[in-house]
A = this chain, B = another copy of it.
């Protein structure tokens, strides 16, 4: 069942009458045709290619080995971009280009932290939060005050103290992204908001699912009205449990922090684009993408090496199968998602300035785990009919355990919303992601080849369906 810009060709079978289905509720006139079989056959080819011929996992291994962690503005980030341009060239796409932008640049510097409970030293595993300023290489010492919610900050006496944000991710959220979304405000705004109340620094419980010893970094943001940019640090969840228990027991916890994190002047980076031009509707763009920058503790293997290489896999597969798209298929590897989003913003601006229209944009930025389907969002003017049309693809996607939901799509493609196309995120199994997200464990060894390639195959299949049938 489909409805959309391209109506299905009605292929009459020997017994065609039961295949004619009228959707009274929507008023749309949809036809179940034999083309469903064509779709099923081609999607099977896509999956076979992914699981037997695709080199996408090798591409990811190369990215992790050659560039490694790709914090925006670092040499490694440019090495990663160069590596990916090489992949595009080898694939013999029609065109590749760069979209330049100014990007923030952050230096992690060095961090030392010592903590004690009632004067007894305790071990802590800590990492500086992205875009924060450190102590300028001079130690500061303060007593920790536990804060569970940003909203409760104005009621705490934080003058000269260190705010300790210790709200765990909600373990009862089945989809861990939701638990992340419910806890990450502490990391993003903890330093900023607590400094307004007189805190000299902030320490955040790592935004991670398990209780373990790996600190999770991630972006922190000083709001515009901040006068003092206080240090922001994350400690491992295990250490946070110890500190929280001590504070709950009325003990005194102090920390001495010495760090040299600081912002550097902005620099220039770029997103890279590769395109296969459409044969019938070249002005309708179907985008696939991920972000090429990453945090610096691991290799940015899952976040978002997998999304980038799955997007490359889409082109590799379509070209490998000799598929000529009707619409323009574009792969975009965005720069600077982690600590600025300048890649996504500049790409959307450039595109809109040129009068382009993205019929659909699919981002993979949830890790390279087994795909579960897609979630989508769009400008309210177009969302319901587009969602309905996407849902109609479930017939051929369900056999691959892929389901369509509404929900978020991706940070990099979100700025395309005013173009009124459908913004789609690859949904994957989320249980393991926040074990390693933004940690030293985000390395190639923790990316499972089949799970990763199945994600690329899912994206390729959806690109194919949208290309064939519109939205």
Q: Which residues of B contact A383 (CB under 8 A)?
A: none
* Shortest Cβ distance from residue A24 to the other chain B in the assembled complex, whole angstroms: 15
A: contact size bracket: 20 to 34
Q: Which residues of B contact A400 (CB under 8 A)?
A: 174
Q: Which residues of B contact A431 (CB under 8 A)?
A: 370, 448, 450-451, 454
Q: For the complex, what is the distance from the CA of A450 to the CA of B172, rounded to whole Å? A: 10
- Asked if B432 and A51 sit within 8 Å, CB to CB, the answer is no
- Asked if A174 and B401 sit within 8 Å, CB to CB, the answer is yes
* Shortest Cβ distance from residue A21 to the other chain B in the assembled complex, whole angstroms: 14
A429 interface residue per 8 A CB criterion: yes
Q: Which residues of B contact A176 (CB under 8 A)?
A: 450
* Shortest Cβ distance from residue A280 to the other chain B in the assembled complex, whole angstroms: 30
Q: Which residues of B contact A171 (CB under 8 A)?
A: 51-52, 450
Q: Which residues of B contact A110 (CB under 8 A)?
A: none
* Shortest Cβ distance from residue A208 to the other chain B in the assembled complex, whole angstroms: 12
Q: Decide: A47 near B454, CB < 8 A? Known: A429-B370, A431-B448.
A: no
* Shortest Cβ distance from residue A101 to the other chain B in the assembled complex, whole angstroms: 37
Q: Which residues of B contact A51 (CB under 8 A)?
A: 171-172
* 8 Å CB contact of A454 from B52, B174, B403, B449: B174
Instruction: List 10 tightest A-B contacts by C-beta distance, closest first.
Output: A51-B171, A48-B172, A431-B450, A431-B451, A370-B429, A51-B172, A370-B431, A52-B171, A174-B400, A429-B429
Which residues of A pack against B, CB within 8 Å? 47-48, 51-52, 171-172, 174, 176, 209-210, 370, 372, 400-401, 403, 429, 431-432, 448-451, 454
